[in-house]
Structure 1
Amino acid sequence: MRAGNFVIGVEDIDYAPIMSTGPDGEFRGYARELLDLFGQRHGHRFDYRPLPAKRLTAEHAAGRLDGVFPDNPNWEGEAKRGLALTYSQPAVPFQDVVLVPRARRDQPVHELGVVRGFTPKRFMPLIQSGDLHVTEAGDPSRLIRMALAGRVDGVHVALPVARYQLKQLRLPDALVPSTTLPSAPYEHHYRLSSARHAELVVQFDRFLREEQAALATLQRRWGLGAGS
């Protein structure tokens, strides 16, 4: 595939260190450096366009984006109906956890905080039965503060994001994994998708396979990888 310029829609959210958009509108974090490295290896130039999650799919469907990151086949199913998307292999390694104050580690979680727009699908049976109620917050920083203040029993968040936020608060050990709502398996949620450039996604997959040493270094620097 020839080098080219591409507009990549990215989620406008503070989910550091995985990704964040600053007040200046600049896309930052591990995801930015991952995509930049991919672009450098193949001579591509990416114009990152931060958008709310639901706008990403709409703009992609309208042909105003060349790709979206992060994306996942399980997200926005109805909005994507009829849209032929090519997805990359999983690209960002982390683990989703439910964190609670240390004193509540072994106690039931009835009120769970989540970032607005995120759906904890593995807990849907508990939510549908009424045993678990979900409270939303606009960003992980607010979510963590809600747990620390006792406004929710626990929070559902990516482990590296929680560690980053707790470090900013100088309370690195204030929240611990719940034993009653266990952590998800170590996995990758985030993929690159494209409706217009399947060849770009294929090239990205090859990059993920061939650059594992460079990516491991990048993950360590951003606090991702195994156990994160």
Structure 2
Amino acid sequence: MAASLFIICGLLCSSYALAERFIVGAQNLTYFPHYDFESDVDKGVGWAILEAFSEASDHEFIYVNLPIRRLQMELAKGNIDFVYPDNPRWYNSITNTDDKTFSLPLTYTVTGTMVKKDKAGKGIDSIKQLAMPLGFTPVNWQQRINNGDTQLTAVQDIPQGLALLQQERVDALDLEYNVARHSISRLSRYDDITLDLTLPHNEIPFSLSTLNNKKVIDELNTFIATNPTLIASIIEKYEIAYLSELYPILMHEQGLAPDEVWSKEAPANN
């Protein structure tokens, strides 16, 4: 951590000399294809869009990995210029959403609940043990956790979560669909795991946020709005799937009618 902060401070000093250089604080989690800022080769779809914007605008972005809970703290201190990913609906006790400026979504994520295929479609009451990556907040599960209906197990990384699910030490894994699919493609022994549409899932935008660089966010928004074909080609390259594509496929596989699909408006799932 000390080394990371030393790098941040050094880069911050340099950024004063070059106004077009900015430091992006990024989650230090392997969450590919959305992001993997520890990679020296390909940091994911969010990075690819920011790099395309960098080329068009001449702004330079330098990425620093930080624990999820520390990102907002370093943003408040001024040690980083931007946070990615961020979302105005995410709660943190450090920065106020009203004080921040958020970009248009760089991409959307399908946050959902993964189960073994033979356990799909059994509904939320069947989930007694839920795994989730450390640092994430179980928004759609919080009431059940508070009531003791579901117990939460934090995992250090995605392979650990998949292993617990495969071994049936947990009933489900709260994980983004595209991340799960990518991980499963590299770990073929987990290919019997799927997104259960009867369990909590949402489509959530990933944005870039800042406290003090609204002008750059405005430029990024203009870039996104005026380059839909380029943005779409980047998203296609990373094979990002959205719920509109997944619903007909998974509903057919799981034999579900529309009224059997989980809805956050349903009282039992609040």
In the superposition, the TM-score normalised over structure 1's length comes to 0.90
1:183-205 deviation line (CA, Å, top 9, x unaligned)? 32x332x1111111101111111
Distance (whole Å) between structure 2 residues aligned to residue 144 and residue 79 of structure 1: 32
Q: Does 1:198 align with 2:223?
A: no
Answer yes or no: is the 8 Å Cα contact 1:98–1:178 preserved in 2: yes
Answer yes or no: is the 8 Å Cα contact 2:37–2:63 preserved in 1: no
In the superposition, the TM-score normalised over structure 2's length comes to 0.76
- Which structure shows the higher strand fraction? 1
Answer yes or no: is the 8 Å Cα contact 1:83–1:195 preserved in 2: no
1:26-50 deviation line (CA, Å, top 9, x unaligned)? 7711111111011111111111111
**Structure with max Cα Rg:** 2
2:258 alignment counterpart: none
Q: Extract unaligned runs of 5+ from structure 2.
A: 1-17, 247-270
Answer yes or no: is the 8 Å Cα contact 1:12–1:53 preserved in 2: yes
- 1:6 aligns with one of 19, 22, 26: 22
Q: Does 1:137 align with 2:155?
A: yes
2:38 alignment counterpart: 22
Detail structure 1 runs of 4+ shifted over 4 Å in the superposition: none
Answer yes or no: is the 8 Å Cα contact 2:177–2:195 preserved in 1: no
Higher relative CO (CA 8 A, sep ≥ 6), structure 1 or 2? 1
Answer yes or no: is the 8 Å Cα contact 1:66–1:197 preserved in 2: yes
SS across alignment from 2:145: helix
1:68-116 deviation line (CA, Å, top 9, x unaligned)? 1111223343111498211112222221111111121133111111111
Answer yes or no: is the 8 Å Cα contact 2:115–2:171 preserved in 1: yes
Give the partner amino acid of 2:238: W
Aligned-residue sequence identity (percent) comes to 25
Q: CA deviation at 1:118?
A: 0.7
1:149-179 deviation line (CA, Å, top 9, x unaligned)? 1111011111000001111012464112225
- 2:145 aligns with one of 109, 127, 138: 127
* More deviation, 80-89/70-79: 80-89
1:32 alignment counterpart: 47
Distance (whole Å) between structure 2 residues aligned to residue 94 and residue 30 of structure 1: 11
Q: CA deviation at 1:6?
A: 0.9
Q: Does 1:99 align with 2:114?
A: yes
Give the partner amino acid of 2:56: R
SS across alignment from 1:90: coil
2:239 alignment counterpart: 223
SS across alignment from 1:95: strand
Distance (whole Å) between structure 2 residues aligned to residue 117 and residue 23 of structure 1: 20
Q: CA deviation at 1:22?
A: 3.2
Distance (whole Å) between structure 1 residues aligned to residue 194 and residue 37 of structure 2: 27
* More deviation, 152-161/70-79: 70-79
Where does 1:143-158 land on structure 2 (aligned, <5 Å)? Answer: 143-158=161-176
Give the partner amino acid of 1:163: R
Answer yes or no: is the 8 Å Cα contact 2:88–2:97 preserved in 1: no
- 1:187 aligns with one of 192, 204, 227: 204
Distance (whole Å) between structure 1 residues aligned to residue 195 and residue 201 of structure 2: 7
Aligned length: 224
